A and B are shown apart, each in its own frame.
Chain A
Amino acid sequence: QKEVEQDPGPLSVPEGAIVSLNCTYSNSAFQYFMWYRQYSRKGPELLMYTYSSGNKEDGRFTAQVDKSSKYISLFIRDSQPSDSATYLCAPAPGDYKLSFGAGTTVTVRA
């Protein structure tokens, strides 16, 4: 079993829709939960960073963490074509050694 499970998609939505992404993990030592966005041929860009269960909102992005069920989510409201990218969940233990999910490829259709 992989440490981090993420559905690779692809996921295609119309502009303005809510994008829902999620991951499950198995390592109880994970303390930090990051979401990265990666455009083709570019390095990952940090989108969201949380360290506790609950919700964190930043503009159109909301990250949710449920440590009891080891489930993490990212929601993108009012999606735009520029949100088309691969989204990577990346939990980490205290040393920030990230474990990446497979990445979900999202396409937002204009």
Chain B
Amino acid sequence: GAVVSQHPSWVICKSGTSVKIECRSLDFQATTMFWYRQFPKQSLMLMATSNEGSKATYEQGVEKDKFLINHASLTLSTLTVTSAHPEDSSFYICSARQTNSPLHFGNGTRLTVT
């Protein structure tokens, strides 16, 4: 149980284009979803917290107009990297949880911006 699916697993895009990453909880309804970013050999950095039906809460230093988060249902959240640049290249990971349960993570999306 508690499977989180993330798609795509990797994507290459050109600078200036936008990329959408999907995060789905397959066998449970996720009250909250979190989006993380991880650079090589570093730990996960929280970008934003997403609750179904409400606006995401962004961490300090994360541009909300650049990283658009939509949590349209209890099983789906999306992260759109708008006008991507090479410095946005990273490993993006989503996580989801039910009420009073620990987080389960997706397998991440490796974004490369050329």
Residue positions of A touching B, CB distance < 8 A:
32, 34, 36, 41-46, 49, 88, 92, 96-98, 100-103
Identify which of B12-20, B60-68, B82-90, B97-105 touches chain A.
B97-105
Q: How far apart are B112's CB and chain A's nearest CB, in angstroms?
A: 13
- With the chains together, A45 CA to B95 CA distance in Å? 10
Q: Is the CB of A43 within 8 A of B108?
A: yes
- With the chains together, A41 CA to B43 CA distance in Å? 13
Q: Is the CB of A102 within 8 A of B43?
A: yes
Chain A residues within 8 Å of B4, by CB:
43
Q: Which residue of chain A has its CB nearest to the CB of B105?
A: A43
Q: Is the CB of A42 within 8 A of B103?
A: no
- With the chains together, A65 CA to B107 CA distance in Å? 28
Partner of A46 from the list B44, B93, B103, B106 (CB cut-off 8 Å) is B103
Q: For window 3-43 of chain B, which residues contact chain A by CB distance below 8 Å?
A: 4, 6, 32, 34, 42-43
Q: How far apart are B45's CB and chain A's nearest CB, in angstroms?
A: 8
Chain B residues within 8 Å of A45, by CB:
105
The 9 residue pairs across chains A and B that have the minimum distance between CB atoms:
A43-B105, A43-B107, A100-B43, A43-B108, A49-B102, A44-B105, A43-B93, A100-B44, A102-B43
Q: Is the CB of B46 within 8 A of A98?
A: yes
- With the chains together, A5 CA to B110 CA distance in Å? 27
Chain B residues within 8 Å of A101, by CB:
43
| Given A42-B108, A43-B6, A96-B103 contact (CB < 8 Å) | yes
